[in-house]
Structures are given as structure tokens and as C-alpha cells.
Structure 1
Amino acid sequence: MSEQAVEYAKTFGKSFTYSEDDIKDLEEILDFYSKDLKGNLLKNLLRKMTKTMPTENQIYSMSLIWGSYLGQLLKKYVNPKLCWVEEEVFGDGKIIHLKDEEVRFFPIDKVYKRIMNGSEDNIISFYEVLKRDF
């Protein structure tokens, strides 16, 4: 999935190379998605009328792609022992996340929140906190 992010980034004029600098570009891309999703009154009205609002599945698919890339950066620069797992965590069914013994990171969920909530869920600060604390 992270390779899809590398390809999709090109459509935004970004070149992802699995470097820490990519975090800023990823944040810009997610900001675009978030603002586009929120739109404005007229845009949202047209989307509803033409039934072109993104579905929950489409938003999750984008979160999976971009979150996978974020996760690969976390593995590379924060904790190389992290592994992708799909397991029950919160009692709501299995979710894909990163795990090292008892430490768990949820980059896909973080990207989803960033898209849905806007800049209050900035991934740059998320990444910096994880890098500092883990």
C-alpha cells in the first residue's frame, strides 16, 4: 500500500522517497483531502445532488494508502522493530496497526482522523511526538 502512496504523491507534484522530509508533503496532501471533503456549501450541495460525495469506504481506502506510508516512515525512523499486524484491539473487530511487544501505533487511523477532522489532527506533530517519546 505504501508504494501506492508513492505513485499517488506524484499526482500532487510530490516525490516520496521514504525520507523524513516526506512527512511535510504528506501533511499537505492530507490537508488537500480534508479541505476538499469539507468543501463549501455550494460544492457539498452539488455533490449530494450528483451523488458524488466520497463514501466511507473511499475515505478509508485513502487512509489505508497514506497511513501505510506514514507507518513505513514510523518503522524506519521511530522504531524498526515495529511490525504490521491485524488484530483485535478495542473490541470493535480487527484493525491494521503497527506493534512492537506492547507498543502500538495506529497510523492508518491517524490519517483517517486527519482527513475527517482537519488540521487539529496534524500528522507532523503526531510523528514528532512519537519520534521523541519512543
Structure 2
Amino acid sequence: MATLQKDIKSSSEWLIRALNELKKKLDYSVDSIKLIDTLIDEQFIEGIPKKNGLFSNNLGGKIFALGSYVGETIIKNTPSTTWITDDSDEKGEVSIGLLSDNGLISWPVVKVIKRIKNGQEDNLYSYVHIIVNETASK
């Protein structure tokens, strides 16, 4: 049986492969999050996936993949950060979180959903940049 921890890794890796096929390179750098912001801007209009766009089907799984990639990027740039998961939670894919050793908790899938819904005011690059810098400075 798959666990959320395994699903996070496989979804993040799937996203990297899928975007590489579109000639968009993800490499777990903080700057690569700008590509995710741009992708969301290109593929959504006022929170709605464009018809026949990359997110027109399997939206939940793709949002989970985006959140997984965002979280994995934070972890790779702040190694003291770990995933918080609960395989028994019915909404576990949305409620996965990150915990840093300084007590900072973040929710990357929730943030991706807010980014899609609210646009640039909830941009992911700033979110990741702040978390990485805040965690590194403590």
C-alpha cells in the first residue's frame, strides 16, 4: 500500500518528468519555483483550469504534484525540514505539511491551491524563498 511519503516523492518526480517533456526544467532550486508560478499563470484563468490545458483533467493529482514539488524544494534547500503526513486522514493529500527544526510549519499543497485561486498575491516563489531563508537563519 502506498503511503503519502511515497506519493509525495513519486508525484514530485512525475512533475519533473512531465515538465521536462515540455522543455521546462525543474531542478529543486528555489528559482525553479518561478517556473511553477508561470505555469499556473499560463494554465489557469481566475482559478479555473484552461479548457484542454495541462490541468483540464486529474486536477487534484496535479495540484498534489505541484505541492509535493514545492515541499521537496523546501526540504532540499533546508535539510532540517521534514514532511508531516497522516495516512489515515481522508484529506491527507491536502493537509501534508512541513516542519523545520526551528518549529516553522508550512503547508505547500494548501499554498498551491491559494496560488491558483488568488493569483500572484499568493505567489509560490516568495513563499519558498521566505521559508528557506527563515529556516536557514534560525
TM-score, normalization by structure 1: 0.70
Q: Secondary structure at the match of 2:105?
A: strand
Cα drift, residue 107 of structure 1: 0.9
The CA distance in 2 between the partners of 1:35 and 1:27, in whole Å, is 13
Matching residue's letter, 2:27: T
The correspondence of residues 69-108 of structure 1 with structure 2, limited to 5 A, is 69-77=69-77, 79-87=78-86, 94=92, 95-100=95-100, 102-108=103-109
Q: Secondary structure at the match of 1:21?
A: helix
Residue 21 (1) aligns with residue 22 (2): no
Match of residue 116 from structure 1:
117
Cα drift, residue 104 of structure 1: 1.4
TM-score, normalization by structure 2: 0.69
Identity level (%): 26
CA pair 13-93 structure 1, distance change in 2 beyond 3 A? closer
Matching residue's letter, 1:112: I
Runs of 4+ in 1 over 4 A off after TM superposition: none
The CA distance in 2 between the partners of 1:39 and 1:111, in whole Å, is 13
Contact 2:47–2:118 (CA under 8 A) maintained in structure 1: no
Aligned residues, how many? 118
Cα drift, residue 11 of structure 1: 4.5
Q: Which runs of 5+ in 2 are unaligned?
A: 1-10
Match of residue 126 from structure 2:
125
Q: Which has the larger radius of gyration?
A: 1
